[in-house]
Amino acid sequence: MAARAYRWVEQRVVRLLDYFERAPITLGRALALLAAVFAFRNIFEALAAGAPLYYPAAFLVHFPLAYLPGIVLIPLVLAALSGERVERVTKVLVVAWALTILPPLFELVAGHAGARISYLPIQPGRFWWSVGNYFNPGVEFEGATAGVRLEAALGVILGGYYVYLKRKKIWISLASLPVIFLVMVNVFSLPYIFHHILRACGSEVPHVAALFGTRGLILRPALDLSDYSTALLDLLYLTPLLALWLLVYGWKKLKEVARWAFRLDTGGYALATGVGLYLGYRAVGAGLPLSNPLDWMAMAGAVLAVFHAALGMRMLLPADSPGDKPSDAGDGPLTERERRNVGAVCLLVAAGCAGTVNYYLLGTLAVFAAAQAFLHLRPLNLRRVWPLSGLFIGVSTVAALGVGLAAFIGGAVTTALPGALTWGVLAVSVLGAGVLELRPEALVGGLLKDRGRRVFAAVTAGLGICISILLPLPLWSRLILAVLGIGLAVVVLARGRMPRWAHLAWPLGALAVLGGRLDLGGEPAVFEDLPPNPVAVAALDGATDLERNNLYAHAALEYARAVEAGDERARVLGPLAFNLRQTGRLEEAEAVLERSVALHPEHAPALVDLAATKVALGKIAEGERLYLRALGLWPDLVQPRVALGRLALDRGLFYRGRGEPELAAEFLTEALDWARGAYDLAPGDDSAAGLLAAVQEELGNYSEAYTLWEKRAHAAPLDPGARVALARLALMLGKDDEAREWLEEARSLDPGLEVPEGLRELLR
């Protein structure tokens, strides 16, 4: 009876699976279903944790991207274990992904208040211990709640049962259970696995929070730094998984996609993004090492964003030879629907890569995609309309270059591209398109068809020579442009057609223009100084007079009038921000300084002021990054070094108080390096000397600290604080009489001085 009931249930399950495997689930329907699952998971998880709903930006970026690698990887593993086609397994898994709502729902029903679901934290050297104890109720893992473990257990059991239904062999099903579980652990703990790999490669990042919660030189969203960082990691992991999925689906289909992916023009756009990244690094990080692993991830994400966008537009828009016949999911060519699906996925990945780096990069990528759309969109078909084809190739190249720049300088990318570089790239692209995209007779007309090739060659050579003469470039760059024009003309005359390698014409020409600009000393960020606005000057003078009388609120109105007059140079925004900080309006000061930095990314004082404001608001990581940018522009600045040293000192004291001596020593050593650098640059600077003395004191170097404070006391004879510090150090060194003298001198300078508790015994 039991066997018959089981067979009845099994038949129903097989029919249900077959229904889902054959269901016409399009890409749009699958994405809509997954979006609904993500939304419900977000709501229930927030309720279970007793926290407010995740803000929309973090939800839209982190939640979907954290799951997508699993949605691609698990079907690949199940397809290999079960022998079923990967697209059929993927359809089943998309439907089964609704089970991810179970963990927070279970926590709510069970009444586990404050249950916070997150990644499985695997500590160094404890991977197999964590895996072995995952289902052990006596071992707790932060983030792996009871609901998550229940979800994992159901997933492993259902995966093994699916393999059994396909193979009808129990031993294969049992052997698949640990494999499926290890794949799920890979998804559950991806950030920790990545951190372990970095540590194995020599990275000194102490823990996952320090990896994904810190900033480097790349601009990244501040709303929730760790969410965006892990989402970028998910996307970099997702890219090869998608290629592997397509390979398993049909290797000839992957071959056809690769034929479009590895074209010279697609690679040229990615190369332009790489050049933009170099220019951005020169603008904000000259002389600073790219030591943050997330900087390298972000740069890879920028290049992949342009690569995927170029490929996506190629696949999404109509093919050059439309009318592909539908085929089964075998080894046939891509159908029209499959082309659109690949294109849509590529554009989604491109948008994800760009958005997880920063929103400015996403906006610049949209310009690139729009130019590509105009270039390939039917019925326009501008690829055959010269010089419009060259114009949009040039716009695409400049936008790809801007994507790299935006990674470092954000919204200032719209003003940071030198005009000569932009117009040079456009001119070279128009020239290259004229050679590559047109038949000679199409350029000169049907009447000159017989002589069209010669006329076309002459026009090409003439354009190359004219552009090389007109552009303000060094001799070697002019020669390259002229050789490109003349060489392509010779090829047209000799062969009567353009070979495939001629696609290198416009990227080589663009790089020649770029190299020439850099050789002439052209910086990636150039700003002409504007003449002062008379209304703004009058408003500034009035604001200055008001501040002298401590009327800061009235002065703020004058600064606002100066801004409204259209003069938003640093001479207005800087004083306005200082005024706002003086009156305690830190958030408004932050907004003003961010606008100033966007307008003048090369102005180091604005960066320093913005960094100090962010630190005052508790945004420590952002402040550190801005201080580093300021040092990259003006290496001799003392204030950023002092600020970075104080932040490192605070961290060292924090970890010492928590009983973590290794981390404390690491940050105190960093503080000492910053303090020595600041003191060497400006020995007479009070803040630099005070920081170095404080660090030496915390490191137990009391004699060095005493000497520094003594110099400070002689330089500032009216400073009681230096005398108190000397009294404290003298007491530590066993010099009780000197300590008493310093303390009495401090009290004579400030009779109302409150004596620290450790020094009160000197008064007895």
Q: Could you state, in chain order, the average pLDDT of each consecutive group of 10 residues for the chain (764 residues)?
A: 77 82 80 80 76 57 72 88 88 84 83 74 77 82 81 88 86 88 84 81 73 74 68 87 88 83 78 85 66 86 93 75 39 76 89 86 87 71 63 82 84 65 67 56 45 58 63 72 71 61 63 65 39 54 63 63 50 66 74 70 77 84 82 77 86 83 82 82 76 80 76 70 74 74 73 67 62
CA 423 – CA 426 distance, rounded (Å): 5
CB 723 within 8 A of CB 749: yes
Q: Are residues 277 and 152 part of one domain?
A: no
Q: Are residues 328 and 188 part of one domain?
A: no
**Domain hosting residue 411, numbered range:** 259-491
If you ran DSSP here, which 8-state letter would residue 389 be given? H
Name the token pair of 44. Answer: 């229930």
Q: What does the pLDDT read at residue 530?
A: 37
Helix (H, G, I), strand (E, B) or coil at 302: helix
Q: What are phi and psi for residue 141, nearest 5 degrees?
A: -120, 130
CA 195 – CA 293 distance, rounded (Å): 10
73 falls within a domain: yes
CA 375 – CA 371 distance, rounded (Å): 6
Q: Are residues 169 and 29 part of one domain?
A: yes
CA 764 – CA 749 distance, rounded (Å): 20
Name the token pair of 14. Answer: 């097989």
Q: What does the pLDDT read at residue 318?
A: 62
Q: Are residues 270 and 355 part of one domain?
A: yes
CA 760 – CA 19 distance, rounded (Å): 84
Q: What does the pLDDT read at residue 761?
A: 65
Q: What does the pLDDT read at residue 518?
A: 59
Q: What does the pLDDT read at residue 441?
A: 42
CA 694 – CA 550 distance, rounded (Å): 34
Name the token pair of 482. Answer: 């002229």
Q: Are residues 66 and 130 part of one domain?
A: yes
Domain limit, last residue, from 188, 212, 236: 212
Count of Cβ atoms closer than 10 Å to residue 129 Cβ: 12
Q: Are residues 317 and 204 part of one domain?
A: no
Element spanning 413, H or E = helix 413-416
Q: What does the pLDDT read at residue 322?
A: 39
The sign one gets for the Cα dihedral 739, 745, 749, 754 is: positive
Domain limit, last residue, from 464, 491, 518: 491
Q: Which residues contact 384 (CB under 8 A, 6 or more apart)?
A: 437, 438, 442
* Domain total in the chain: 2
SS3 of the chain: helix, strand, coil, percent, to 5:
75, 0, 25
Q: Which of 437, 427, 435 minimizes the C-alpha distance to 512?
A: 427
Torsion on CA atoms 141, 147, 151, 156, rounded to nearest 10: 50
Q: What does the pLDDT read at residue 384?
A: 58
Domain limit, last residue, from 472, 491, 510: 491
Q: Where are the beta strands (DSSP E) in 291-405?
A: none
CA 696, 699, 702 angle in degrees (round to 5)?
A: 55
CA 311 – CA 393 distance, rounded (Å): 14
CA 481 – CA 432 distance, rounded (Å): 11
665 falls within a domain: no
Question: 410 in the Ramachandran plot: left (φ > 0), alpha (ψ -120 to 50) or beta?
Answer: left
294 falls within a domain: yes
Q: Are residues 484 and 341 part of one domain?
A: yes
pTM of the model: 0.60
Query: The tokens 């401090």 sit on which residue?
Result: 746
CA 335 – CA 529 distance, rounded (Å): 56
395 falls within a domain: yes
Q: Are residues 207 and 264 part of one domain?
A: no
Helix (H, G, I), strand (E, B) or coil at 370: helix
Q: Are residues 281 and 199 part of one domain?
A: no
Q: Which of 175, 172, 156, 154 minimizes the C-alpha distance to 164?
A: 172
**Residue burial 604-643, b: 16+ Cβ < 10 Å; e: rest:** bbbbbbbbbbbbeeebbbbbbbbbbbbbbbeeebbbbbbb
Q: Are residues 422 and 337 part of one domain?
A: yes
33 falls within a domain: yes
Q: Are residues 205 and 263 part of one domain?
A: no
Q: Are residues 447 and 306 part of one domain?
A: yes
